Structure 1
């Protein structure tokens, strides 16, 4: 196996991880009781299409509402504007060409995108590590406790594919080539804002190298800075594209944010949900401290030796994305899934030790935690107050 092509090695690792996840899904499906979507004990293909998969199917079949649906009190109701268009529209195109049903097309796009993401992630990791370590990094990514999301009709696989491709092009300083990839990424999931922030900080760093008091010999040339500045602009416009489309279609400037916050049950207030959740989990004193402790621990992670080996661009991405989550995210059970764009840290984990025992243990523990995630969050079981925790 050591002499096999990199793409074959990566494919085998990824497919093995997805087969493991499929076995966990099938075991959980046997015990699935009454639920909002189908009869108890569904088959595998039905079981993986629940939750947001049904919303993406709604967007693929019926598009997006021209006006925001509201109740008698004027409150916006759940609707498709919370779900970015690239994934459902690709599935609709596939269904038109092949005759597949909507959910089957969504699943096919997700599965192919997940494999493509693994291949691009390997190429990205090879920029910073040897072949064996990069492959272990892919194994960590492919078995991460929420990695089962890469084979269900969610937009995460497509988004990770485009994000990894954009990061690879940025690392290689092919800024102009990254522009169309970034625009597509911004239409797949809300990762445009942290990506634009990362590019802005990267531009400031490059400008400092070029015009600072200690200009190094390898300072970036003016042409590279111009390309980077153009990518910053494109990234910023891409980050605003989906909210702007929602505004243009519905006539409501806050159509996207009003829809997104429906699931929260309250308006968007930066940082506040983290402190609310902290107080709920740890009490009035420790709860206030908890977000600061979390941010401090993440900062220590970013300056650790294995993570420093990831290079400036990947560290900037992880920092900006986590900053984005701290500012805008309402921490809940879906937070685990939203950590997947931090996949560069999988390489940092692989670089922590070359021990086969350590690396194998990580894969085993990640795989076991997939069982926890699928049984606890993916399988539906009504809570005493109604509904269930979302995955």
Structure 2
């Protein structure tokens, strides 16, 4: 056997051991791309069928979001009818479509649309509050600028462009999660990962005018390129990704770990290209906002003053969870925190059992840390959702029914999977409804 063949066999055995979650995986580094070309994965008929299933589940999950938003639409119509009957209002009854659209563009969506319509402010008042339009300087530019382009190309207005963009990017993100899972594991794992990703309650954000869909697409591309060791493409995806959301800095950590491993193992100094490019989006946005507003550190001041973003390093999450345990029906926000933490620990356990490449682990770790650090808005389903490699870990952990000789165990696993899907769909609709009706910060 030649040195190349021996090296390839060793790498293949190491990847198989990591995919199985064996103990040897704890002492190895998943630093080499799979032996097969990526085009073989994408063209595999079995994988294509899995993608069809994943996209079908995605469409069904969007119906769950619409169902949840319909609850708010019904409540709004009832309230307006009562106000009209009492003489408080003198206006037409709102349509279900407009009410649902207003819900899907509320909260952060409102600020992104303000950027689409008016760009960034030319100055920021002292002691700014979130009620002032200049507070839009707290939101990153890639998603609203993309919406502006779509709005320029397509008719229908900026609201339609924002929601359509996220719907399409959401579908792309489902496929990318599947491609990444297939590169690391199997077609079955890819199918399960796409399904879990689509029905997770935090996936409601793919239907709102939020930046998560854009960020996840860019992050998935970056992580996929890191696995493939395509350093320039990984760096470019990361550079745009860090200009999409604050937790985009997790991509810098992923590129740093990938570069460190590549240099330590093979002296592949080209890996530093991805690390050099990764933070450019975040840094560039800070410089742009500072120049636009005429002050240094404008974004940080808006975060501090308008949004009261301090640090608690997880204390807020613990306090909110304790309040939920002692009084479970008192606060939807506390319930969301507690349930998010439960889901997070369960997914991290799956990650421990089924090891992912270290760059993906670094990405997940930073996203979770940034979710828990803030003092105001802490653990939420949509923040955990952006740690999407966890869905691959859960999909890889879930037992293969055909490979389990115990028929009763296989039946239990199948039933458990059905329960997870039902709970996911129900949670997706419920979370959207609670968000709209009670204004629970998601």
Same fold? TM cut 0.5: yes
Partners in 2 of 1:298 and 1:324 — Cα distance? 19
The CA distance in 2 between the partners of 1:374 and 1:106, in whole Å, is 18
Structure whose alpha-carbon radius of gyration is higher? 2
Name the residue aligned to 1:233. Answer: 276
Are 1:49 and 2:100 matched, yes or no?
no
Whole-angstrom CA distance in 1 between matches of 2:378 and 2:434: 10
Task: Verify the 8 A CA contact 2:55 2:174 in the aligned structure 1.
Answer: yes
Deviation at 1:20, TM superposition (A): 2.7
Whether 1:341 aligns to 2:386 is yes
Gaps of 5+ in 1: 211-218, 284-289, 382-387
Map of 1:245 onto structure 2: 288
CA–CA separation in structure 2 for the residues paired with 1:343 and 1:151: 17
1:102 and 2:158 equivalent?
A: yes
- What does 1:254-293 correspond to in 2, within 5 Å? 254-265=297-308, 268=310, 270=311, 272=312, 274-276=314-316, 278-279=318-319, 282=322
Alignment partners' CA distance in 1, 2:56 and 2:137? 37
| Alignment of structure 1 residues 368-379 onto 2, 5 Å | 368-377=426-435, 379=436
Give the Cα separation in 1 of the matches to 2:47 and 2:219: 29
How far did residue 47 of structure 1 move?
Answer: 3.1
- Residue matched to 2:363: 317
Q: Measure how far apart 1:105 and its partner are.
A: 0.7
How far is 1:76 from its partner? 5.1
Counterparts in 2 of 1:236 and 1:302: CA distance versus 1, 3 Å? farther
CA distance in 1 between counterparts of 2:362 and 2:182 reads 18
- Decide whether the 8 Å contact of 1:34 with 1:40 is kept in 2: no
**For the aligned residues, what is the CA RMSD?**
3.0
Question: What's 1:286 paired with?
Answer: none
Q: How many angstroms does 1:262 deviate by?
A: 3.8
Do the aligned partners of residues 256 and 62 (structure 1) sit closer, same or farther apart at CA in structure 2, a change above 3 Å counting?
same
CA contact (8 A) 1:192 1:235 kept: no
- For residues 214 and 351 of structure 2, the distance between their equivalents in structure 1, rounded to whole angstroms, comes to 30
Question: Is the 2:317–2:378 Cα contact (8 Å) retained in structure 1?
Answer: no
Alignment: residue pair count: 352
- The 2-side partners of 1:261 and 1:167 are apart by 31
TM-score, length-scaled by structure 2: 0.71
Q: Quote the offset at 1:42 in angstroms.
A: 3.9
- The Cα of 1:157 is off from its aligned counterpart by 0.9
Are residue 198 (structure 1) and residue 254 (structure 2) matched? yes
Instruction: Find the residue that maps to 1:357 and give its secondary structure.
Output: helix
- Structure 1 residues 245, 3: CA separation in 2 closer, same or farther (over 3 Å shift)? closer
Change (3 A) 1:127 1:118: same
Aligned equivalents of 2:113, 2:358: Cα separation in 1: 38
Tell me: CA distance 1:137–1:158, structure 2 relative to 1, closer, same or farther (3 Å).
same
Contact 1:55 1:80 in 2 (8 A): yes
Task: Identify the residue that residue 414 of structure 2 maps to in structure 1.
Answer: 356
User: Could you say if the C-alpha distance between residues 3 and 119 of structure 1 is closer, same or farther in structure 2, counting changes exceeding 3 Å?
Assistant: closer
Q: Following TM superposition, by how much is the alpha carbon of 1:122 offset from its aligned partner in structure 2, in angstroms? A: 0.7
Residue 389 (str. 1) matches residue 440 (str. 2): yes
Residue 301 of structure 1: aligned partner: 349
Matched-pair contact (CA < 8 Å) for 2:204–2:428: yes
Quote how far apart the aligned CAs of 1:29 are: 2.2
Q: Structure 1 365/331 Cα, relative in aligned 2: closer, same or farther at 3 Å? A: farther
Structure with more of its chain in helix, by fraction = 2
SS of 1:390's equivalent in the other structure is coil
For the pair 1:30 / 2:81, whether they are aligned, the reply is no
State the alpha-carbon separation in 1 of the partners of residues 256 and 236 from structure 2. 18
Cα 1:298–1:264 change in 2 (3 A) is: farther
1:88 matched to 2:144? The reply is yes
- Once the two structures are TM-superposed, the CA of residue 279 in structure 1 deviates from its matched residue by 4.3
Name the residue aligned to 2:210. 154
